[in-house]
Every structure is written in C-alpha cells, then in structure tokens.
Amino acid sequence: MIFGVGTDICDVRRIQASLTRHGERFAKKILSDAELATWQRRSTRHGDRGLRYLATRFSAKEAFSKAIGLGMTLPMTWRRCEIASLPSGQPVIILHGELKTWFAERGLSAHLSVTDETDYAASFCVVEK
C-alpha cells in the first residue's frame, strides 16, 4: 500500500545563489560523500551540469522527506538520503545511518522520478509499505 507521496520544485537560480554565497560548504551540507564526488566531477567538466545535478538532488531529497511524512526533521537529513542511478539512468534512493534504520523498521520502499528544465528542477516520490 502507499505510505506517502512527496513532490518538490526547486528554482535552479536559488541553488546557484546559495553556491555563490556559501561555496562548496553548501554542496557539502546537501550531498552525501558519493554525491559530492559526482558533483565535483561534473562541476569540473561543465559548471552547469554540476549545478543541475545539485538542484535535482535538492528537489529529490525534499520530495522524499515529504513522502515519508517527516520533512527535514530527524532522522531525515540531507546527507542520509542519497540519490544514485541504476545503469539504465533511473534514480534510486540509498539511505544511510538512522534514516536507513527508521525506513527499514517500517518496511518501506521508495520510488523516485526527477526532471529539470532551464530554471527549475522537480521531483516526485512515492513510498510504499
């Protein structure tokens, strides 16, 4: 059965403004270690791809936080919710630490879809029990 759904739209220009203001510290607050490595790789090759990657992660994590009904309150944190990709490109959520335990204890599984276009990134998440 469906446990929850969550959606989020993120203004890429706001992510850019946070990056300009706080630099890498902002990315380090939002991204897991694995995501940070991907972000650094993409940013080095092409700044815009790094920015879009960060914006889609931001929106996906917010959508997930809504789907589980916690919002950004413990045990949900930005860095404990990692968005990875299958070889096909489909996004998958990998949880860490206390959030992983909380999620597993409830017998939950998550489905995620993300998209972005020019100034916006958006995500939709369904969590099943």
Ligand X SMILES: CC(C)(COP(=O)(O)OP(=O)(O)OC[C@H]1O[C@@H](n2cnc3c(N)ncnc32)[C@H](O)[C@@H]1OP(=O)(O)O)[C@@H](O)C(=O)NCCC(=O)NCCS
Q: What minimum distance in Å lies between the beta carbon of 62 and ligand X?
A: 5
Residue 17 or 72 having the CB closest to ligand X: 72
Q: Determine if 125 is a binding residue for ligand X (CB under 6 A).
A: no
Q: Determine if 58 is a binding residue for ligand X (CB under 6 A).
A: no
Residue 37 or 72 having the CB closest to ligand X: 72
Q: Determine if 71 is a binding residue for ligand X (CB under 6 A).
A: yes
- Residue 75: cis peptide before it, omega within 30 degrees of 0: yes
Q: Which of 69, 63, 55, 106 minimizes the C-alpha distance to 81? A: 63
Question: 20, 73, 88, 118: which one contacts ligand X (CB under 6 A)?
Answer: 73
Distance CA 129, CA 124 (A): 17
- In the chain, DSSP finds a helix count (H) and a strand count (E) of 5, 5
